[in-house]
C-alpha cells in the first residue's frame, strides 16, 4: 500500500473534474485521480452543444434561460441554483473560447447558436437559438481543450486509478460526530496496488450511472462509482428516481443521435408518416423537453403506430435537410446511423427509440459544490460537481445542453471552493486500517474459487431496469424491479471473478462497479416506488398527474445498515450487507417562479 498527501484530490477527469482542476491547481497542490485516461471520459462523447444566453443570433437573456430550466425540470429545480447557472453560462462559454475551443461561427464571426429542446424565447413563445456548438462534437472539443489547459498548468494526473472508497473522520449520520474528509482509497489498474490518498479537500466528479439500464447512451464505464461510494459511507443521494430517457437512441442499440438533429430541423414520424409531436406539444413540437418527447414516442409504439417489422420504434426524418447542411452540422451522428444501422440519413428516416441517458439525481450539494450530509449540514472538505452531483439545476428533467454547462459552471465553483478550504485546513487523521474495506471486498471476489459471474448479474439487473423502471412505471413494475435487485444483491455476495491476477484486472474492477450499480438501482427504484406522482422523467401510470401538494420536494435516500452484528462491516463493504434504503425529503427552493401546469 502506498500513501500520498495533497491539498486537493479530484476524483474524475471529465469536464467537471478538469474544470475544477484548472481552478484548484493554481491555488493548491492538486492531484486528479481518474479510472480512464482523461480524454476518454464520457464528456468527450457529448454531441449537440452547451447553452448560454449569448444572444448572438437572436434576442435572449439569462432570465429566460432560468425559466426554461425550471419549467423543463418540472418545478423540482432549486431556482437559486438555476439562476446561478444561467447567469454564469455566458462566462463559462467565453472562458472556453479564450482557452481555444473551436466553436462554430456565424458569418460575422460570433459563436453560432442553434435550437435545442425546451429552450425558448420569452417563457415559451417559440424555440430560441441558445446552444453553442462545435458541429456534433461539442463535448469532444470541451474535453480536449480542458485537457490541454490542464497539461499546460502542470496538473498532476493519476491515470487508470480507481477510487473505491472515501475516508471520513466520523460517520456522517452520527448525531455526535463531526465528519471531515480524510482522503480516498484507490486501486491502480496497472499493478493492482492499493493507494491511500490523503487530502484536505476531495472533489467527486465521477459522472453518471447510465449502466444501471441495458439500453443506454452511456459509456460502459458510467457505473455511478462516486455516488455509490458516498452512499455507502452514509451520505444521502438526492432525487435518484429521476432518470432521463433521451428520445433519439438508435433503435435496439441505444447509441445517441443528438437532439441537435431536431434542433437543425429533423422531424419525428410514426409508421403512418405522421409528425406526431404536433399532437403532444403543439407549440414546441419536436423540440419539447425530452421527457415529453420520450413518452410520446413510447406511447406511439404502445398504440400500434410504431415503425419497422416489430412496430417497436419511430423514425427520425432528416431527408428534407440539404446533405451539405447535414455534413456541416451533424457529421458524426449521421455516420453512426450508417455504421450501426446501415441507414442513409440523406434519403432514409432513421429508426430511433428512447435510451437511458442522464441521472438528474446524485450527491446533494450547495451552489458552491459542498456536499450535504443531510438537508442542511455539509461535510467540511467534501465537494462534488458534474453528473455525480445534484445541485439541483435539472430537477425532474434536464434540458439538452444544460449538462455541458453544469459541468463547467459548477466544476469551476467546486475547484475554487475546494482549494480555498484547503488553504485554511490541515490534513485529517486517517482512520485505522484505511484500506481495510476495499481490500476485504476485492480479495473476497478475487480469491473465491467459483461463484456467480459478474456479466450474468449485470445483464439481469439491466434487463429488469429496462422492463420495470423505464419511461413508464407502475407500483407493480417497480416492486418487481426491487425484488429482482435484492435477489441480485444477495447473489452478488457470491461473485467470483475469473481473472485471479493482479495486473490490469478489469474483471475485478467490473465486479466492484457492479456492486455500485446494484446499490444505485435499489435507490432509483425505492425512490420511484415512494413517489406516487408523475413529474419530469419519472412517470407513474398509476399516478399520471404531478402532485405538488405531496411531492413538491426532493427525495433524500440514505443507506442504513440493519444489523450491528460483528462482521457486519466486512459484509457491508461488499455491498450486500443487510441494509435498507431510508427515504427522507428536502424542500425545493423557489424564488421567482410558482409551479404551473407544463404545456409546450
Residues within the interface to ligand FAD (CB under 6 A):
11-17, 33-36, 41-43, 45-50, 138-139, 162-163, 205-208, 217-218, 225, 256, 258, 358, 386-388, 401-404, 407
Give 199 or 478: the residue with its C-beta nearer to ligand FAD. 199
Residue 469 and residue 531: Cα distance in Å, rounded?
A: 13
36 among annotated binding-site residues: yes
Least Å from the CB of residue 150 to ligand FAD: 12
403 among annotated binding-site residues: yes
- Three-class SS of residue 85? helix
Residue 563 and residue 515: Cα distance in Å, rounded?
A: 19
Give 386 or 527: the residue with its C-beta nearer to ligand FAD. 386
From the list 19, 114, 233, 290, the catalytic residue is 290
Task: Retrieve residue 271's grid coordinates.
Answer: 409508421
515 among annotated binding-site residues: no
Are 43 and 102 within 8 A, CB to CB? no
Least Å from the CB of residue 39 to ligand FAD: 9
Least Å from the CB of residue 143 to ligand FAD: 7
12 among annotated binding-site residues: yes
Least Å from the CB of residue 249 to ligand FAD: 9
Residue 386 and residue 430: Cα distance in Å, rounded?
A: 27
In degrees to the nearest 10, what's the CA dihedral of 487, 491, 497, 503? Answer: 70
Active-site residue, 559 included = no
Q: What is the distance of C-alpha 229 from the center of its chain?
A: 15
41 among annotated binding-site residues: yes
583 among annotated binding-site residues: no
Cell 477510487 found at: 163
Are 385 and 203 within 8 A, CB to CB? yes
Using CB atoms within 10 A of its CB, is residue 100 exposed (0-12), middle (13-18) or buried (19+)?
A: exposed
Task: Retrieve residue 287's grid coordinates.
Answer: 423540440
Looking at the DSSP bridge assignments, the partners of residue 269 are: 315
34 among annotated binding-site residues: yes
Least Å from the CB of residue 574 to ligand FAD: 16
H helix runs in 62-134, sequence order: 62-72, 79-99
Least Å from the CB of residue 48 to ligand FAD: 3
**Mutual orientation of helices 138-152 and 402-423 as an angle, nearest 10°?**
20
Alpha-carbon distance values, 586 to 236, 298, 375, 503, 557 (Å): 11, 31, 6, 44, 11
Per 3-state DSSP, the chain is made up of helix, strand and coil in percentages (nearest 5) of: 35, 25, 40
Residue of minimal Cβ distance to ligand FAD = 14
Using CB atoms within 10 A of its CB, is residue 547 exposed (0-12), middle (13-18) or buried (19+)?
A: middle
480 among annotated binding-site residues: no
Cell 405538488 found at: 548
Annotated binding site for substrate: 246, 258, 357, 398
Residues that are catalytic = 290
Annotated binding site for FAD: 12-17, 34-49, 225, 387, 403-404
Annotated binding site: 12-17, 34-49, 225, 246, 258, 357, 387, 398, 403-404
Amino acid at each position: 500500500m502506498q500513501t500520498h498527501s495533497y491539498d486537493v484530490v479530484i476524483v474524475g477527469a471529465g469536464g467537471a473534474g478538469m474544470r475544477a482542476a484548472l481552478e484548484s491547481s493554481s491555488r493548491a497542490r492538486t492531484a486528479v485521480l481518474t479510472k480512464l485516461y482523461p480524454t476518454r471520459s464520457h464528456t468527450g462523447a457529448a454531441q449537440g452543444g452547451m447553452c448560454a444566453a449569448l444572444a448572438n443570433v437572436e434576442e435572449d437573456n439569462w432570465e429566460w434561460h432560468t425559466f426554461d430550466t425550471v419549467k423543463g425540470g418540472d418545478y423540482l429545480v432549486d431556482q437559486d441554483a438555476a439562476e446561478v447557472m444561467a447567469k454564469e453560462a455566458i462566462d463559462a462559454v467565453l472562458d472556453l473560447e479564450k482557452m481555444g475551443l473551436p466553436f462554430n461561427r456565424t458569418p460575422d464571426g460570433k459563436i453560432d447558436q442553434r435550437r435545442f429542446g425546451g429552450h425558448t424565447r420569452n417563457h415559451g413563445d417559440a424555440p430560441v437559438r441558445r446552444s453553442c456548438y462545435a458541429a456534433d462534437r461539442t463535448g469532444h472539443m470541451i474535453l480536449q481543450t480542458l485537457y490541454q489547459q490542464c497539461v499546460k498548468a502542470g496538473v498532476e494526473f493519476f491515470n487508470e486509478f480507481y477510487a473505491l472508497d472515501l475516508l471520513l473522520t466520523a460517520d456522517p449520520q452520527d448525531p455526535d460526530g463531526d465528519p471531515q474528509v480524510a482522503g480516498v482509497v484507490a486501486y491502480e489498474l496497472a499493478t493492482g496496488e492499493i493507494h491511500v490518498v490523503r487530502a484536505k479537500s476531495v472533489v467527486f466528479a465521477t459522472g453518471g450511472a447510465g449502466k444501471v439500464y441495458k439500453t443506454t447512451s452511456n459509456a460502459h464505464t458510467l457505473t455511478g462509482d462516486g455516488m455509490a461510494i458516498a452512499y455507502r459511507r452514509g451520505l444521502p443521494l438526492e432525487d435518484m428516481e429521476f432518470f432521463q430517457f433521451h428520445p433519439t437512441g438508435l433503435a435496439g442499440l441505444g447509441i445517441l443521435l443528438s437532439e441537435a438533429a431536431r434542433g437543425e430541423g429533423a422531424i419525428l414520424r410514426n409508421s403512418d408518416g405522421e409528425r406526431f409531436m404536433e399532437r403532444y406539444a403543439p407549440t414546441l413540437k419536436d423540440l419539447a423537453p425530452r421527457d415529453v418527447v420520450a413518452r410520446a414516442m413510447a406511447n406511439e409504439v404502445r398504440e400500434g403506430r410504431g415503425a419497422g417489422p416489430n412496430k417497436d420504434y419511430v423514425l427520425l426524418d432528416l431527408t428534407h435537410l440539404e446533405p451539405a447542411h447535414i455534413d456541416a452540422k451533424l457529421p458524426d451522428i449521421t455516420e453512426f446511423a450508417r455504421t450501426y444501422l446501415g441507414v442513409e440519413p440523406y434519403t432514409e428516416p432513421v429508426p430511433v427509440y428512447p435510451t437511458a441517458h442522464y441521472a438528474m439525481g446524485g450527491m446533494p450539494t450547495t451552489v458552491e459544490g459542498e456536499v450535504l450530509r443531510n438537508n442542511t449540514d455539509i461535510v467540511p472538505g467534501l465537494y462534488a460537481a458534474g453528473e455525480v452531483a445534484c445541485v439541483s439545476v435539472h430537477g425532474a428533467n434536464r434540458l439538452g445542453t444544460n449538462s455541458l454547462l453544469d459541468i463547467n459552471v459548477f466544476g469551476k465553483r467546486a475547484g475554487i471552493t475546494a482549494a480555498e478550504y484547503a488553504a485554511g485546513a490541515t490534513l485529517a487523521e486517517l482512520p485505522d486500517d484505511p484500506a481495510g474495506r476495499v481490500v476485504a471486498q476485492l480479495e473476497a471476489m478475487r480469491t473465491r474459487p467459483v461463484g456467480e459471474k459478474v456479466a450474468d448479474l449485470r445483464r439481469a439487473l439491466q434487463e429488469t431496469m429496462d422492463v420495470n423502471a423505464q419511461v413508464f412505471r407502475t407500483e407493480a413494475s417497480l416492486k418487481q424491479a426491487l425484488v429482482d435487485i435484492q435477489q441480485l444483491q444477495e447473489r452478488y455476495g457470491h461473485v467470483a471473478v475469473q481473472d485471479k491476477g493482479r495486473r490490469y484486472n478489469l474483471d475485478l474492477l467490473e465486479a466492484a462497479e457492479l456492486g455500485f450499480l446494484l446499490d444505485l438501482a435499489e435507490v432509483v427504484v425505492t425512490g420511484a416506488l415512494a413517489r406516487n406522482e408523475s413529474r419530469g422523467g419519472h412517470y407513474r401510470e398509476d399516478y399520471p398527474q404531478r402532485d405538488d401538494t405531496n411531492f413538491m420536494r426532493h427525495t433524500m435516500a440514505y443507506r442504513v445498515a440493519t444489523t450491528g452484528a460483528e462482521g457486519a462491516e466486512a459484509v457491508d463493504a461488499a455491498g450486500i450487507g443487510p441494509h435498507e434504503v431510508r427515504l427522507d425529503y428536502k424542500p425545493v427552493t423557489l424564488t421567482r417562479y410558482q409551479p404551473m401546469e407544463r404545456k409546450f
